Structures are given as structure tokens and as C-alpha cells.
Chain A
Amino acid sequence: MKWNWWKILGITFIFISLTVGMLIPLRPGIVGLNPLQITAGQTVQFDLEGYNTNFTNSKEAKAWLWLDKDHIVKANAVQVIDNQLVKAEFDIPEHLPEKEKRTAKLSTYDEVNGFITALGRPYIKDGTIETSLAANQWNAKINNSEKIGGINFPFLPNIYESVRNTFYHVALWFAMFFTFIWGVVHSIQYLRTLDPERDFKASSFTSSGILFGILGLVTGMMWASYTWGEAWSWDIKQTMTAILLLVYLAYFVLRMSFEDDERRARISAIYNIFAFVCIIPLLYVIPRLVDSLHPGGQGNPAFSTGDLDMKVRVLFYMSVLGWCMIGYWMSNLFYRSKKIESFLLENDI
């Protein structure tokens, strides 16, 4: 029993990631912005529709309309209607600094909800292009730009609450790598020692790695169908993972095609090393060269957690560790049943 502490730890980690992952709030955001077409030189009243916001408790809400860091106007008046609705009135300057800079951003700050930038981008019609005059008119400063504190998930356009899937979908990939690594380590050990138990271990770990891979692919398709619009959009990472899983599935087809135990073990160990080496180009090299719908495509393709702050990231790694431990446990159970089977057959029971 004393060696089972890690199983309890793994279950605890997954339990925490499931409960906390569903309970941590989403950072407040502004989903609705009206109007989105404004005219330069006029006074405009915007309706801001909040998500997860708590405007009525805030003492003083501020709002800014800005083209870039140097061109900002402050709202004349910000009126809180209820928790999810705020009206902000702006005098839009009649001069604009550049021809291309016509899409503005709208941000609000109050001490309860922190700094929020609306998802909608209002477009400014008409107005004259006068760089120096515009600099005088767009002359406000944003002096509060801290986001809300505490533990919360980032508010991302199009993704919204489904950002919680980083705890479940992304953690599965880490568990897949972990079990594949254990599998290939046992394959190498088999080739060194020719101990059949190593072969059982290698195949058990690889098979649970494939389970995690298929689960990751299916959960990704579920997530994609409501954020990218299609379950399968031939995204580079989707495609490469599918190829990788086919390479690994061939490992089991190969295993089934041998009658002799020793030959099966030896050839499948060599194939497993080949399949593991395939991970590097398929998941680490090619996705870096091609545009992807996945976040973080230009940087580290394995990570989409760049938007998570430190506290949430700690919980995310907890989920990863939990899934790795459960993956180890699952593989180990299968390995033990294989060992018993071989014992029974060997002793001709």
C-alpha cells in the first residue's frame, strides 16, 4: 500500500483540475459594442455589453477610445445601467493621424472589473487626415491598465468559456508524450536485455499513449467544431497528429502479425523507436513551418498556454501531472495482466 501514494496523488490532481477548472471564473470581458460605425467629429454614445462583469459595484468607471498608444480620447461620461450594461459617451475628434488608422479600440477600467478591451472594433468614417492636429485632439492618457487580480481564465474572443479545455484537452497531449516516452524507454531496454517483461511494458505504455492521442484528437475536434467552425479543417497539427497516430497504430498491426514471441518483441521494439522518432518532425518541426489555427503557432507548438497567468498555469501543470500518473497507472494495470497471462501460458496451466 505504501507505494500507492502516487495513484492517490494523481486522482487528487485530476479531481482538483476538474473542479477548479470548472469553478475559476472567466476574466470579465465586453462582448457587445454598439454602434460599430461612427463618424468623425460627432458625439457618439456606445452601449457596452459585458460578460461576467460587475459594473454596479464599481465606484468610478472610465472608458477610452484609442487608435494606438499615442492617440487616445477619454469618454465624457460613463453611465452604469446594470451589471452587464454600460453606456459611454465620446466626442470623436474630426482629425485622424493616418489614412489606415480608422479602426479604434474601446477600453474600460474600474476597480472591480479591471481593464477590459471590447471585442468589437469601431470603424471611424469621414474626418480629415491631419497628423499634427490629430495629435492635439487624441491626447488623453490611459492611466489605469491593470487587469483584474485573483485567479481567473483569460477572456478570449470566440473561445470564451471553452478556454477551460486547456486543463483537459492540452493535458491529454502531455500524458500521451509521457506514456510514449516510457514505451520507447522500455523498447530500448528490451533490445539491451531481451527480457520479455520489457516488451509487455513497452506495448502497454504505447497502447495507453494511443488512447490519450485518440482522446486528444476527438476532444480537439469537439472544441474545433465550435470555435473554428469545423471539426476537421486540415489544420497542420490535426493532420500531423492523425499521421502520428496511424504510425503508432501500425505498431499494433505489426505485433499481431508475428507468431513467434521473441521475433515479435524484437521487431516491434525497433519499430517503436522509429515511431517515437517520428514524433519530432511530425509534432515539433513541421507545425513550426506552416501556419496553424492553433494558438502559439509561431512560437512553441506544444504550448497554447501563453495566455494563462502564473496561478492558473500551476493548476494546469497539476492537471498534466495528474494525467501522467493516471496514464502510468493504466499502463501498469495492463502490463500486470499481460505478465499474469504469460506466466499462466508458460507454466502450461
Chain B
Amino acid sequence: MNKYSAKIFALLLTFTFLFSNAILAQGSSPDFMRSIGKIYVVVGVIAIIFIGIVLYLVRLDLKISKLEKIIKEHGED
């Protein structure tokens, strides 16, 4: 991991956040979620499930990073 990766990640996250906020501010009206027969509720539900799977991947990533660390420390001995 290089030392800039955390900064790059923070920058990307900020941009994504600002960008999505701009889109939401432009397209949202009080009844947006209820338009076209409440179809955006389904979109929201699928998005939540996707976020859940991403969280699972993050957890698995942390677990495997831990294993890599154990192996790396062994190599240094």
C-alpha cells in the first residue's frame, strides 16, 4: 500500500458524495419516490441489498488482510 492511497480514497469518496448530492438535488421532488407507481421504492430496495453485499465484501477483505499480515510476519522471521 502506498502512502497516498488513503488520501486518494478520501478524495474519491468526497467527489462521489458531492456528485451524487448534485444529482439528487436536481432530480428530487417530494413525490419522486411515489412517481410511476412507486417504482423507485424497488430501486431503493435493490440498492440497499447491493450496499449489504458490499459491506460483506469489505468484512471479508479485512479478514483476508489479517491473514496476509500473519503470513508476511512469518516471512520476516
Total interface residues on B, using CB and 8 Å? 25
CB distance from B41 to the nearest CB of A (A): 4
Q: How many A-B residue contacts, CB cutoff 8 Å?
A: 77
Proximity bits, B22-60, A CB within 8 Å = 1, else 0: 000000000001101111011011101100100110011
Which residue on A lies nearest to B59, using beta carbons?
A: A334
Which residue on B lies nearest to A222, using beta carbons?
A: B44
Q: What are the residues of chain A within 8 A of B13 when measuring CB–CB?
A: none
Q: Chain A CB within 10 Å — which of B36, B49, B63, B66 has the most?
A: B49
Q: What are the residues of chain B within 8 A of A26 when measuring CB–CB?
A: 37
Tell me the dominant secondary structure on chain A's binding face: helix
* A337 B64 Cβ-Cβ under 8 A: yes
B42, B63, B71: which contacts A161 (Cβ < 8 A)?
A: B42
* A226 B70 Cβ-Cβ under 8 A: no
CB distance from B47 to the nearest CB of A (A): 9
* B39 A161 Cβ-Cβ under 8 A: yes
Considering the chains assembled together, what is the distance between the CA atoms of A165 and B37 in angstroms?
13
Q: What are the residues of chain A within 8 A of B63 when measuring CB–CB?
A: 334, 337-338, 341
Q: What are the residues of chain B within 8 A of A349 when measuring CB–CB?
A: 70-71, 74
Q: Is the C-beta of A191 less than 8 angstroms from some C-beta in chain B?
A: no
* A222 B41 Cβ-Cβ under 8 A: yes
Query: For this complex, into which size category does the number of interface residues on chain A fall?
Result: 20 to 34
* B67 A340 Cβ-Cβ under 8 A: yes
CB distance from A160 to the nearest CB of B (A): 4
CB distance from B13 to the nearest CB of A (A): 21
Known: A337-B64, A341-B67, A349-B74. A215 touches B42 (CB 8 A): no
CB distance from B58 to the nearest CB of A (A): 12
* B46 A337 Cβ-Cβ under 8 A: no
* A51 B37 Cβ-Cβ under 8 A: yes
Q: What are the residues of chain B within 8 A of A164 when measuring CB–CB?
A: 39, 42
Q: What are the residues of chain A within 8 A of B42 when measuring CB–CB?
A: 22, 161-162, 164-165, 168
* A341 B66 Cβ-Cβ under 8 A: yes
Which residue on B lies nearest to A221, using beta carbons?
A: B48
Which residue on B lies nearest to A164, using beta carbons?
A: B42
Q: Is the C-beta of A159 less than 8 angstroms from some C-beta in chain B?
A: yes
CB distance from B46 to the nearest CB of A (A): 6
Which residue on B lies nearest to A218, using beta carbons?
A: B48
Which residue on A lies nearest to B75, using beta carbons?
A: A349
* A223 B45 Cβ-Cβ under 8 A: yes
* B45 A226 Cβ-Cβ under 8 A: no
B39, B49, B74: which contacts A215 (Cβ < 8 A)?
A: B49
Which residue on B lies nearest to A323, using beta carbons?
A: B49
Known: A168-B49, A214-B52, A337-B63. A162 touches B38 (CB 8 A): yes
A18, A165, A345: which contacts B41 (Cβ < 8 A)?
A: A165
Closest 6 CB pairs of A and B: A160-B37, A161-B37, A161-B39, A215-B52, A162-B41, A162-B38
Binding site for A on B (CB under 8 A): 33-34, 36-39, 41-42, 44-46, 48-49, 52, 55-56, 59-60, 63-64, 66-67, 70-71, 74
